[in-house]
Amino acid sequence: MCGTCGCGEKEESARDHDHDHHHDHEHAHLHDHDHAHTHEHSPGARLVRIERDILEKNDRFAAANRRLFAAAHVLALNLVSSPGAGKTTLLVRTLQELKGAQPVAVIEGDQQTSLDAERIQATGVPALQINTGKVCHLDAGMISDAMGQLAIPSHGVLFIENVGNLVCPAGFDLGEAGKVVLVSVAEGEDKPLKYPDVFHAARLVLVTKVDLLPHLDFDVEALERNARKVNPHADVLRVSTRTGAGLGDWYGWLDARRREVEAA
């Protein structure tokens, strides 16, 4: 099962990138002549072991990815949101306006189809689609494999658009410099309180579709207060991809983060 939300990910799915399948059944035998054996045979104990193995393996791939990005001076950002919050639309406009200024590439994560990657590729920016099937998030091993097929944008930006989900992606480090969490004004002010893990992991919270505010009963200040309750260190910006409102702040934030990577 998926270590964060029980999404139906099999143990073998998380081991797709592991070619040394060891068969460790966690038999801790205490041979001190009183034959006190501790067998992790209960379903709960086995689930804990599987989850720990999945996350430890993911962290090893994430560390390797991070070293690769650092060596190439790549700003890697992990974009996370509910379905429909506007990740791909924001990326398309961002790429259209910034692609000539610096190298850029995109990894797209979805359970099925290559629709989003095709939208990105139409901008002229290299993009690679990862279809996760029944798995509800990208993991660091998938990103490692993708780097073998997609040219790393040296001294540029790699956008990783995760599967639409506010639960599973929170627990999986991809080696990124930071998570960017998008929440639209159509979703409700309480999202940071309902899904605290992903907002706690965010480096930036983007409040999207603010052009709809006049038509909605939505308190954007309450959303921002809730986000800062969960994570007082995250930056919070308001944007509208349709009207362009706030995009200058978004681009400025990107430029500042890219300069940090260059200086590291």
211-234 pLDDT, tens digit each: 999 999 999 999 999 999 999 999
Task: Give the per-residue pLDDT at 2.
Answer: 58
- Beta strands 27-30; 36-39: pairing state: antiparallel
Q: Which of 155, 160, 158 is nearest to 142 (CA)?
A: 160
Q: Looking at the domain assignment, is residue 157 inside a domain?
A: yes
Average pLDDT over residues 53-58: 88
Task: Give the per-residue pLDDT at 185.
Answer: 97
Query: 218 with 238: CB under 8 angstroms?
Result: no
Q: How far apart are CA 202 and CA 235, in angstroms?
A: 8
Give the number of residues written for the chain: 264
Q: Looking at the domain assignment, is residue 111 inside a domain?
A: yes
- Of residues 176 and 32, the one with the higher pLDDT is 176
Q: How far apart are CA 153 and CA 149, in angstroms?
A: 12
The model's pTM: 0.83
Q: Looking at the domain assignment, is residue 155 inside a domain?
A: yes
Q: How far apart are CA 171 and CA 3, in angstroms?
A: 8
Q: How far apart are CA 75 and CA 173, in angstroms?
A: 15
* Number of Cβ within a 10 Å radius of residue 226: 21
Task: Give the per-residue pLDDT at 141.
Answer: 97
Q: Which of 169, 72, 171 is nearest to 130 (CA)?
A: 169
Backbone angles phi, psi at 235, to 5 degrees: -75, 150
Owner of token pair 């040219």: 151
CATH at 221: 3.40.50.300
Q: How far apart are CA 72 and CA 107, in angstroms?
A: 17
3-state secondary structure of 238: strand
Q: Looking at the domain assignment, is residue 216 inside a domain?
A: yes
Count of structural domains, the chain: 1
Q: Is the pLDDT of residue 23 over 50?
A: no
Task: Give the per-residue pLDDT at 14.
Answer: 37
Q: Looking at the domain assignment, is residue 32 inside a domain?
A: no
Q: Looking at the domain assignment, is residue 97 inside a domain?
A: yes
Q: Looking at the domain assignment, is residue 33 inside a domain?
A: no
Backbone angles phi, psi at 214, to 5 degrees: -65, -15
57's tokens: 């393996």
Task: Give the per-residue pLDDT at 238.
Answer: 98
Task: Specify the DSSP class assigned to residue 214.
Answer: G
Q: Which of 113, 160, 115, 114 is nearest to 138 (CA)?
A: 160
Q: Is the pLDDT of residue 25 over 80?
A: no
Task: Give the per-residue pLDDT at 5.
Answer: 53
Q: How far apart are CA 149 and CA 167, in angstroms?
A: 28
Q: Is the pLDDT of residue 30 over 50?
A: no
Q: Looking at the domain assignment, is residue 6 inside a domain?
A: no
Q: pLDDT band at residue 31, thresholds of 50, 70 and 90?
A: very low
Q: In sequence order, what are the residues at sequence separation of 6 or more whose Cβ sits closer than 8 angstroms to the Cβ of residue 134? A: 7, 8, 9, 13, 111
Containing structural domain, residue 93? 56-263
Q: How far apart are CA 93 and CA 65, in angstroms?
A: 27
